[in-house]
Chain A
Amino acid sequence: MKKKCGRLLLFLLMVFMVSLEAAPKDREVTHTITISVPSLAILRLEFPTVLMEFNTLPTEPVDEDIIGEGDTTFSFVSNESNKKIVASIAQPIQDSYIYLEAAFTVDGQGQGEATSLGWHTISTTPVTLVDDISQAYYKNNTIQYRLHVGLGATALQGDIEMNIELVDQ
């Protein structure tokens, strides 16, 4: 009797152990996610077209240019250092009495380093308007254009195609 009880006890113990082994357990699962963010250099212009407006016109002959003005906004992001924004015009302005100036002012919402360089004449050679861009994101920054129309301009109307790039410094 005592021997049977011992076997029974041993059997129950084995069943218990097997049950323990077969029962589901909490396990740690390691899932490594490698995130790769590539080099970012994004520039966005709010509007594809800017209309120049001549709000202040002379009422009598004056020896100075007539200036048309227009503005729009731009946004940019760069996770790298030493970037700059350059601008140029695709084709020379046919009328030598007309030239375009632009100023890109980093006055929007954002963070990081970026330095506006003020007004510059825009030609077919890219000119830097914002430099020292480092790990920066700014949106809704101001672009201002001035179209200088000198005495003797013969063009009555036209389009000037601007190329604006975020490039390495």
Chain B
Amino acid sequence: MKVMKKIVTLASVGFVIIISTLYAETQTINFTIPQLLLFTIEGGSVTLDISSELDIAGGGSAVSVSDDTTNYNFFLMGQPGTAKITAELSANMPVGTTLSATMDTDGTVKGSPSPSSQGEKILSITPLNLVTSINNGAVFASTLTYQFGYDPATADLSATSIPSVIVTYTISAE
């Protein structure tokens, strides 16, 4: 009987743990700018007193008085086109009187709104453009001027006062 020799082979087995060494990633930040169209007027009611002007004019000539103590602000963001600001009265002014408004664009500008003032406009119940071509951006503390005109030649002289009027401003897409 032959002696069976078992040969033990000393085996060295090398294992390499393969792990993906991914160390760079990409990520997409998706955004949609909110659409904002904001407008405010600073200051409360405006009183336009014509009496002193009538005294100066002697009571027979048309006179006017103005007030530029009001400021306005607007803010546009995410607008695909330009916007405008319109103004309208709650009721027409009495005969012989006018109320006009001017929205200057003399405030602090942020962005590139590039607004275009339409100058002085006599207000009525029909909306009128006071500022146009407004792009995204903002203007703060621009001057809003009111002017009240009174013509004794055509006005109702029996009226000792004129009812308050409400001016409604609207900012909207052009």
Known: A35-B15, A151-B77. A165 touches B24 (CB 8 A): yes
Say whether A50 contacts B136, CB under 8 Å: no
Across the interface, do B23 and A62 meet the contact criterion of CB distance under 8 Å? no
Residue B80 is within 8 A (CB to CB) of chain A in the complex: yes
Q: Hey, what's the 0/1 contact readout for B20-52 against A, CB within 8 Å counting as 1? A: 111111111111111010111000000000000
Are B22 and A43 in contact, with the CB atoms below 8 A?
yes
> Does the CB pair A164–B24 fall under 8 Å?
yes
Interface residue total, chain B, C-beta cutoff 8 A: 50
Residues of B with C-beta under 8 A to A153: 33, 77-78, 111, 136
Contact, CB under 8 Å: A54 / B111 = no
Verify if B4 is at the interface (C-beta below 8 Å from A): yes
- Known interface pairs A36-B16, A61-B39. Does A160 touch B73 (Cβ–Cβ under 8 Å)? no
Does A149 have its Cβ within 8 Å of any Cβ on chain B? Answer: yes
Which A44-84 residues have a C-beta within 8 angstroms of B? 44-45, 47-52, 54, 57-63, 66, 68, 70, 72, 74
Q: With the chains together, A147 CA to B73 CA distance in Å?
A: 24
B78 nearest in chain A by CB position? A156
Question: Closest CB of chain A to B112's CB: distance in Å?
Answer: 5
- Is there contact, CB below 8 Å, between B40 and A159? no
> Does the CB pair A152–B136 fall under 8 Å?
yes
Assembled-state Cα–Cα distance A150/B138 (Å): 10
Which residues of chain A are near B80, meaning CB under 8 Å? Answer: 156
Q: What CA separation (Å) do A18 and B1 show in the bound complex? A: 8
Instruction: Give the shortest distance, in Å, between A105 (CB) and chain B (any CB).
Output: 16
Q: Which of A41, A61, A164 contacts B27 (CB 8 A)?
A: A164
Once the chains are docked, how many angstroms separate the CA of A41 from the CA of B11?
A: 32
Residues of A contacting B36 in the complex (Cβ-Cβ under 8 angstroms): 57-58, 66
Nearest A residue (CB) for B20:
A42
A31 in contact with B13 given A151-B138, A153-B78, A158-B31 (CB within 8 Å): yes
Check B15–A36 contact: CB distance below 8 A. yes
Q: Does B95 contact A (CB under 8 A)?
A: no
* A58 in contact with B75 given A34-B12, A63-B140, A151-B110 (CB within 8 Å): yes
For A152, list chain B residues within 8 Å (CB): 110-113, 136-138
- Provide 15 A-B residue pairs closer than 8 Å at the C-beta atoms, listed in order of the A residue: A27-B8, A29-B8, A38-B19, A40-B19, A48-B28, A54-B33, A58-B38, A61-B138, A66-B34, A149-B33, A151-B111, A152-B110, A157-B33, A161-B26, A165-B25
With A52-B32, A74-B25, A147-B29 given, name 20 new contacts (CB 8 A). A18-B1, A27-B8, A30-B11, A32-B13, A35-B17, A39-B21, A40-B19, A42-B22, A52-B30, A60-B73, A61-B73, A61-B74, A90-B26, A151-B77, A153-B33, A153-B78, A155-B33, A157-B32, A160-B31, A163-B25
